[in-house]
Amino acid sequence: PQLANQIAAGEVVERPASVVKELVENCLDADANTIDIEIEKGGHKRIYIRDNGKGIHHQELELALSRHATSKISKLDDLENICSLGFRGEALASISSVSRLTLTSKPASQQQAWQACAEGRDMQVTIQPSAHPDGTSIDVLDLFFNTPARRKFLRAEKTEFSHIDEVIRRIALSRFDVTINLKHNSKGVRKYPAIKDSQSQIKRIAAVCGHEFADKAIAINSEYEGIQLTGWLSPAGEGRGQNDLQYVYVNGRVMKDKLINHAIRQAYEGLIETNSHPAFVLFLTMDPMQVDVNVHPAKHEVRFHQARLVHDVIFRSVSKALSESFS
């Protein structure tokens, strides 16, 4: 099983940042509202993540580490209607096959915390009692220690950490209600305290995107044809040098999508002649049956059943918000 898991790991675990992404998504799926992340040496040495979510029951610990074991989908129909971030049951098995992984958890209903780790070629899981508050911790040491080819592709500590920082930024924009703290080499690097009311959301935007964007951002909030678009945009003609500040979420998942970006760019270009580099954080909410997210875990691609309609709705909403801010 270790080889099979390592092959699967090639798909899911490209670098430390992809480990962090998978693990933090698991915390969110477990309804955690506080997530603490500690990174050492760009994640190569250690990735430690603790949450206060619903935990993993003692009897399920071993299963959580095995491949294609997910607690999130019970029947095939669910695949059409995925609300959780994870559903493949592959991440933990993959990560533990290329690192020294320890999983410690305590559901609130359980008196005792338990700890599991899988080791060796046969991924033998050992389980022992442990101490832990309600929630789950995952400790990933020595990533790629047993896959030298992959280890060779690791970049400088700073580079790997900046990828992690970006992953956390994306997640922080998708869940204002969750506190996320990020440390690197024992130093606090990011603090994103939970946002309790919608008036304060701009605080999270400022924390993640900086004041330069947040202070001038135009709020957008519209709905056409059952497709809701909310978020913030840089004013037309501004946002130079911020062209990497472009975040789009579809039903809470971050997406890179040409269609969406095209619609946004068109809306800007309809207003000003110049080639603009808009910055934006946008949330598209629509019937999950109208979107396919069952694509490669690392690619963030989405397929809309009614692509034309989605394009038009985004174009109209963004154009309207921009032109209102003009007058």
The whole-angstrom separation of Cα 141 and Cα 9 is: 15
Q: Minimum distance between the CB of residue 178 and ligand ADP, rounded to whole angstroms?
A: 13
Residues 61, 103 contacting (CB under 8 angstroms): yes
* Cβ burial, residue 237 (10 Å; 0-12/13-18/19+): middle
**Contact predicate 235/301, CB 8 Å:** no
235: contact with Mg ion by CB under 5 A: no
Please report how close the Cβ of residue 317 comes to ligand ADP at its closest, in angstroms. 32
**Of the listed pieces 53-61, 108-116, 156-164, 206-214, which binds ligand ADP according to CB under 6 A?**
53-61
Q: Which of 17, 39, 90, 178 binds ligand ADP (CB under 6 A)?
A: 90
Total residue count of the chain as it appears in this document: 327
126-132: Cβ within 8 A, 24+ apart: 127/58, 127/61, 127/62, 130/104, 132/104, 132/105, 132/106
Member of 8, 27, 101, 279 binding ligand ADP (CB under 6 A) = 27
Compute the least distance from the CB of residue 173 to ligand ADP, in Å: 20
Distances (CA, A) of 114 to 63, 65, 130, 269, 279: 13, 14, 5, 57, 45
Q: How many residues bind Mg ion (CB under 5 A)?
A: 3
Instruction: For residue 86, state whether it binds Mg ion (rule: CB under 5 A).
Output: yes
Question: Under 8 Å CB-to-CB from 201, ≥6 apart: which residues?
Answer: 176, 195
State whether the Cα torsion 108-112-118-124 is positive or negative.
negative
Q: Does 115 bind ligand ADP (CB under 6 A)?
A: no
Residue of this chain nearest to Mg ion (CB atom): 86
Q: With beta carbons less than 8 A apart as the criterion, state whether 39 and 50 touch.
A: no
Tokens representing residue 180 in the block: 């996320």
Q: Which distant-in-sequence residues (6+ apart) come within 8 Å of 18 by Cβ?
A: 12, 167, 298
**Residue 95 Cβ, how far from ligand ADP at the closest point, in Å?**
8
- Residue 321 phi/psi, 5° resolution? -60, -45
**Which range, of 81-89, 162-170, 227-235, 277-285, touches ligand ADP by CB under 6 A?**
81-89
In terms of DSSP H, where are the helices of 110-209? 148-151, 157-174, 201-209
One of 42, 43, 53, 278 touching ligand ADP (CB under 6 A): 53
Taking CB under 6 A as the rule, does residue 175 contact ligand ADP?
A: no
From 52-60, 122-130, 162-170, 176-184, span contacting ligand ADP (CB under 6 A) = 52-60
Mark the segment that binds ligand ADP (CB under 6 A) among 65-73, 256-264, 281-289, 311-319: 65-73
Q: Are strands 253-255 and 100-106 parallel, antiparallel or unpaired?
A: unpaired
- d(Cα 155, Cα 248) in Å, to the nearest integer? 27
Taking CB under 6 A as the binding criterion, the range among 70-78, 120-128, 167-175, 252-260 that sits at the site for ligand ADP is: 70-78
Q: Which is nearer to Mg ion, 28 or 205 (CB)?
A: 28
Closer residue to ligand ADP, CB minimum distance, 29 or 238: 29
Binding mask 89-128 for Mg ion (x = CB under 5 A): --x-------------------------------------
For the bound state, the minimum distance from the C-beta of residue 62 to ligand ADP, rounded and expressed in Å, comes to 10
Is there a contact between 307 and 261 (Cβ–Cβ < 8 Å)?
Answer: no
26 binds Mg ion (CB under 5 A): yes
Please work out the total of residues on this chain that contact ligand ADP, with binding judged by CB under 6 A: 23
Residues forming contacts to ligand ADP in the complex (CB under 6 A) are 22, 26-27, 29-30, 51, 53-56, 64, 70-72, 86-93, 136
- Report the interface residues with Mg ion, using CB under 5 A: 26, 86, 91
